[in-house]
Amino acid sequence: MEKEHLQFPGYVARFKEEAVDPEVVVLTASEAKSMIVELHNEVKSMKIEAVLVADADALAFATGPPSSRNVDVKGLLELAGKDFPTKFAHFVAYASSLLVPVELEVLKLFLRRDHVVEESIEYFCCMDDTDTRSVVRIDFAEETGVDAGGVHREWFALVTELIVNPALGVFNCANHDTQTYFFNANSAQTISDDHLGYFFASGRLVGRALLEGEMMGFHFALALLKIILGIPITFRDFEELDPVAYKGILWMLENDGAETLGLDFTATKRGEGGNVTTVELVPHGQDILVTDSNKYDYAEHWLHYYLLESVSSQLYVFLKGLYQVIPRQLFMLFDAAELDYMICGCDSIDATDWEINSRCSKNLLGTRMLRWFWELVRGMTFEYRRRLLQFATGCSRVPLGGFRHLTSHDGQICPFTVKVWLMACRRNRHLLDLEAPLLSGESVDHRIDAATREAEAGYTVCASCEFENFKRFEYCVLCGDKLSSMSMTTDDEDGAEDGDEESFMPPAYLVASGERPTHLMSPRPRKMSSLSRQQRRARNRKEWSRKLDVEGKLFWYRSSGGNVPVSSAVEAQLPGYTVTFKLSKGEDEKKELEELEELKELKELKELEEGGSDEEPARESEPVLAIEQPQDDKESNENEFKILPSDVGVELVEASVADPAEFATGKSTLVEAGPERRKEIVSIATSDFPSKYAHFVVNTAALIIPAEIEFLKLSVHREYMLEESMDHMFCIQPKNLRSFMRINFLDESGVDAGGVHREWFMLVNELLASSTLRLFICTNNADQSYFLNPQSRTEVGEDHLAYYFATGRLIGRALLEGGIWGFHLALPLLKIILGVPVTLADMEFLDPEAYRSLRWLMDNDDVDDLGLDFSLTEQISGSEKVVVDLIPNGRNVAVTDANKQEYLDRRFRYVLFESVADQLHAFLTGLYEVIPRELLLIFDPEEFDYLLCGSPEIDVTDWQTHAVLSPNLEGANVTNWFWEIVRHMPNEYRRRLLLFATGSACVPLSGFRGLTSYDGRLCPFNLKGVSYRTTQYISSHACFNRLDLPLYHSKRELKKMLYATLDTDLTGFTTA
């Protein structure tokens, strides 16, 4: 291990400013034109660099430090060291606070379903920075559905699915085994000159997903996750990104004779017009052969090129879009796996959790029909559960908190509800049919309560990966290992009264004070040698942590396990790097102004938190502002659209000298924070995950603009969902980014009260991870994690950065609102988001094949025989190949034993940072616009992955426990049948049922008790019994997490009708 760290140091991506002339970009007339030009000019002024961890600021991210200088670094760092549920609760709380209340502002996106990706990207690209956290409502053209949450969830699911479609060209599936996606480096050729807009919008979209708790439909590559988190990336991260290339490089490193491979320090890249060009990884790289002496250098340059340099523009705008939604500091809480989980959630659906956290109408309580329904759900495959979840909620993924975290369009807890009603296998979406959910007065709580209750319930530590799971889980959500019966509890579970004002923001979740007593012992950790690859990844999530020295200054602490620091030899061989983007002088000044605005905003938020809610009643008298994003108003306000920089420079700062308060796209508030605040954040970062999660939820909830004040209404066409959604997310003004969002599917009758939004979010997630879009590419098929596509400009188009920016904003929104992202981000990307140093070893989870090759090169001599040079061959659109020089003239520089370290370093820098610098910058920028950077400081990458993506499993027991039944279902046979069926469903069918009932197939991290409505208030799953003589078909009200369940006479009939419902198309909103 020491030799590996010595040969493969960790790097963090950093974008640095370069003085360049503004680029003249020719684009077709569109609403995003001005924004795309701005992105291109900004990216051109940036240069990405891979900074050694020893030289990197641990608080910095690729595009800069955390959003606010007032962030308590110590508190965040302490929270980041805690269990994931605590960190997730903190994230959700903070993200919720970022959302602009729906009462204040709503962004309405008008979309065509057949152009949903393009129009969504345009919306998100053009969205004003101030609107990235506003509530979004989707209006699909020629559809009657009114977005009360379900349309939004469906739209999000569609967009995230289409955005990773290879045909779109934004992301590429870099690893088919793990289905992880990375930026398409050739997006400019694949998409068009406006490809940066795609990445910018995608970053905003990912940010929105994190902000709102939505789940993305695909996983980012590990390297991209690390870059998002600001975590160092290493050569190992490339294994997940490109396993084949990794194996080749590893073989070269582990064996002698590199000279025989004929490699030089070059890589191939598709240039303007689709021409294949050679990129030199080092000056005169084509004249430098790869030998055994330099093969490590070759691998490093090769890595840097493919991870950073080849996608620097895409990376920059993607990060820009992401960080506009999710402040960088929030990513400091998580590791890459946690971020991946937060973005993508869990693919399975726990029928028990579903049933426990569901409600039903009174005529279904205790009935056989209700039992039949749950029996069918339990007997379903996971795919059919996902269909049912999609059908019911508009989203096929369960929120990270489980079914108790299902929400309506405004973020309120809105549990899944079964109701006996009159419809035949369709959801009631008509405006006149929007009945209130079956809620008692005390159940109209915010998801903050669900998160804090989960934290108060304690946690169970996994013996394999040492992750602090929510207490309700039987298996670890990170590594899948069976959990011990031993758990950690607190003495304050019965502390605050429900009516106590401070119960919404308990100090335990705002600050990890260490005063919460724990009981029982954690299971003895298993030996590293006995762990699987996934368990090792989860165990290593705390490799990097932010700590304070005796002077109160932050520094990166690197652990080799068991809180033992790595040796100096290991640090020298595999240093960690944080990434910083280099922008032009003008762009850098603009970024500083934006950071000052963010600091001012967060300062005001902090003052509001400390000063109470004296001014809150005044909001009630203010008019509700509905901000709509029309499709036909593309010429107006062009000057307000954001321009994402292309040719973003990247600087990798070694972790030993990096400021842990800085992120890739800027500084967090911890940079200027006092020692007490830093101590507070460090304390929170070291707390258990449930506590950190509660802290996050409390703080994000404070950011949300109430729906009563303002909401965003997004109108999209279902056929153009991704495009229009990305366009909406891109174009939302930053001031509106944290407003509640309502989705209007054009030409559909659905009214978004939560379900439409959830469905939209789920659909957008699926589109974003689509292999035809290629905005994200699945770089690791084993982990199904996605990374930014370095060829996104070619494969997605010129506006690819707008997609990344919008995706970043979308992820920020997901974090803000507690939404579950539909796909996992690669570990390096999670680290970059969190500002955590990235090392070469992280490439293992980006491209396992390539990592094994690089490892072989590192550990073996005579690499000259391999005939390698300092170049890479990149594949564009699945067929065409281009050679990219990792150093100048790299194709003519052979990899030898003398320069292989340089080769490994260049390859690491290129693959993880330089190749996706533009995309990463756009993505992170969009994310941090929604979620302040300091809120991410408390999470490690795996926790952040879990926070973002949740768990695919749906716990039926949790579902049933937190479900509400109508009086006619209490004690009814149909009620028991329903839960029995759900329990026996495959997880996919549980997810379908959850999607059907709530508009989302994902359970919130806090479980089914965390189900919310559109405004963040708790809205439990409801089961309502309806007369069998009136209808024999199951229908749903996804906006209110409700199922209408006919009072069937037999379990067999209930199962037949339930599965028939879940086998149909669960998306779309029609008139009841």
Q: What is the pLDDT of residue 587?
A: 59
pLDDT of residue 585: 62
DSSP string, 992-1013: HHHHHHHS-SB-BBT-BTTEEE
Q: Which two tokens stand for residue 965?
A: 């039944």
Average pLDDT over residues 232-258: 81
Q: Check residue 711 and give its pLDDT.
A: 79
- Do the beta carbons of residue 940 and residue 542 sit within 8 Å? yes
| More confident of the two residues 499 and 912 | 912
Q: Does residue 561 register a pLDDT over 70?
A: no
Indicate the number of domains in the chain.
1
Nearest-10 Cα torsion for 805, 810, 815, 819: -160
What pLDDT digit, counting tens, does each position of 635-664 carry? 444 434 567 777 778 888 888 888 888 888
471 secondary structure, DSSP code: T
Once rounded to an integer, what is the mean pLDDT over residues 934-963?
A: 86
Check residue 611 and give its pLDDT.
45
Q: Report pLDDT digits (tens) over 294-342.
A: 888 888 888 888 888 888 888 888 888 888 888 888 888 888 888 888 8
The most confident of the ranges 177-191, 407-421, 604-618, 720-734 is 720-734
Cβ burial of 264 (10 Å; 0-12, 13-18, 19+) is buried
- Give the pLDDT of residue 606: 52
d(CA 415, CA 1000): 11
Q: What is the pTM of this model?
A: 0.55
Which of 69-73, 763-767, 855-859 shows the lowest mean pLDDT across its residues? 69-73
Which residue intervals of 8-47 are DSSP H helices?
Answer: 33-44
Is residue 359 in a domain? yes
16: confidence class by pLDDT, cuts 50, 70, 90: confident
Statement: residue 614 has pLDDT above 50: no
Confidence of residue 409 (pLDDT cuts 50, 70, 90): low
* Bridging pattern class, strands 1042-1046 and 1035-1037: antiparallel
**d(C-alpha 735, C-alpha 813), whole Å:** 13
Residue 956, beta-bridge partner list: 352
Average pLDDT of the residues in 1010-1024: 77
Local structure of residue 178 (DSSP, 8 states): B
Burial class (CB in 10 A: 0-12, 13-18, 19+), 271: middle
pLDDT of residue 1066: 60
Q: How confident is the model at residue 432 (pLDDT cuts 50, 70, 90)?
A: very low
pLDDT at 434: 36
Considering only CA atoms, which of 112, 168, 99, 118 is closest in space to residue 138?
A: 112
User: Which stretch of 264-273, 470-479, 997-1006, 1029-1038 has the lowest confidence by average pLDDT?
Assistant: 264-273
Identify which of 411, 299, 400 has the alpha carbon closest to the alpha carbon of residue 886: 299
- pLDDT of 503: 33
Rg (the chain; Cα; Å):
25
Whole-angstrom distance, CA of residue 895 vs CA of residue 248: 13
Average pLDDT score over residue span 606-629: 46
Share of the chain above pLDDT 70, in %: 79
In a domain, 966, yes or no: yes
d(CA 274, CA 804): 21
The pLDDT of 937-964, averaged and rounded, is 86
Mean of the pLDDT values across residues 539-564?
80
Residue 1006 lies in a domain: yes
- Mean pLDDT over the full length of the chain: 76
Question: Which tokens hold the place of 1071?
Answer: 């008139």
Q: How far is CA 559 from the centre of its chain?
A: 26
Distance CA 798, CA 187 (A): 7
pLDDT tens digits along 106-125: 888 888 888 888 888 888 88
Helix, strand, coil percentages (3-state) for the chain, rounded to 5, are: 40, 25, 35
By residue range, what is the domain housing residue 1043?
A: 348-446+951-1062
Could you tell me if residue 375 is inside a domain?
yes
What's the rounded mean pLDDT across residues 237-253? 80
Q: Number of C-alpha atoms within 13 angstroms, CB side, residue 867?
A: 3
Separation of alpha carbons 533 and 515, rounded Å: 35
Q: State how far the Cα of 733 lies from the Cα of 723, in Å rounded to an integer.
A: 18
Classified as helix, coil or strand, 230 is: coil
Assess if residue 995 is contained within a domain.
yes
Higher pLDDT, 1011 or 877: 1011
Burial tier of 1032 (Cβ tally within 10 Å: 0-12, 13-18, 19+): middle
Please give the C-alpha separations between residue 342 and each of 168, 170, 248, 824, 840, in angstroms, as whole numbers: 25, 21, 32, 8, 24
Per-residue model confidence as pLDDT tens digits over 766-781:
888 888 888 888 887 7
Cβ contact 1001:395 at 8 Å: yes
Residue scoring higher pLDDT (427 or 247) = 247
Residue 511, pLDDT score: 38
Q: Report CA 193 to chain centroid distance, whole Å.
A: 26
pLDDT band at 282 (very low <50, low <70, confident <90, very high): confident
Is residue 445 pLDDT above 60, yes or no?
Answer: no
pLDDT for 1030 equals 64
Q: How many percent of the chain have pLDDT more than 90?
A: 0
Taking every pair of Cα atoms in the chain, the longest distance, rounded to a whole number of angstroms, is 82
Cβ–Cβ < 8 Å for 778, 784: yes
Q: Which residues have a Cβ under 8 Å from the Cβ of 461 and sit 6 or more positions away?
A: 83, 467, 468, 469, 484, 486, 487, 488, 522, 523
> Tell me, what's the pLDDT at 531?
66
Q: Report the length, in residues, of the chain.
A: 1072
Confidence of residue 620 (pLDDT cuts 50, 70, 90): very low
Mean pLDDT on 338-364: 80
- Residue 812 and residue 606: Cα distance in Å, rounded? 19
Four-point Cα dihedral 88, 94, 98, 100, nearest 10: 80
Is the distance from CB of 322 to CB of 829 less than 8 angstroms? no
The closest of 1069, 845, 1067 to 220, measured between CA atoms, is 845
What is residue 333's predicted lDDT score, i.e. its pLDDT?
A: 84
Q: Is the dihedral of CA 41, 42, 45, 48 positive or negative?
A: negative
Question: Which among 904, 807, 811, 891 has a CA at the least distance from the CA of 855?
Answer: 904
Position 32 scores a pLDDT of 53
For residue 396, give every residue at least 6 positions away whose Cβ sits within 8 Å of its Cβ, in sequence order, or none.
Answer: 157, 386, 387, 389, 390, 762, 991, 992, 994, 995, 1000, 1001, 1002, 1066
- 838 pLDDT higher than 80: yes
pLDDT at 487 over 60: no
SS (H, E, C) 358-397: EEECCCCCECHHHHHHHHHHCCCCHHHHHHHHHHHHCCCC
Report the alpha-carbon distance of residue 66 to residue 495 in Å, rounded: 33
Name the helix (H) or strand (E) containing 710: strand 710-720
Which of 30-44, 51-65, 367-381, 813-827 bottoms out in mean pLDDT, i.e. has the lowest? 30-44
Evaluate if residue 393 carries a pLDDT over 70: yes
Alpha helices per DSSP H over 465-524: 507-510
Indicate if the alpha-carbon torsion angle 426, 432, 433, 438 is positive or negative: positive
pLDDT score recorded for residue 220: 83
Give which of 625, 735, 715, 768 is closest to 209, Cα–Cα: 768
Indicate whether 431 belongs to any domain: yes
At 575 the pLDDT is: 84
pLDDT at 439: 38
595 has pLDDT over 80: no
DSSP for residue 431: G
> Which tokens is 431 given?
């405006």
Angle, CA of 533, 534 and 536, to the nearest 5°: 65
pLDDT greater than 80 at residue 578:
yes
Catalytic residues: 1039
Supply the pLDDT for residue 430: 36
CA separation for the pair 502, 452 (Å, rounded)? 11
The answer to whether position 358 is within a domain reads yes
* pLDDT over threshold 60, residue 418: yes
Q: Cα–Cα distances in Å, from 60 out to 64, 71, 394, 776? A: 6, 13, 37, 24
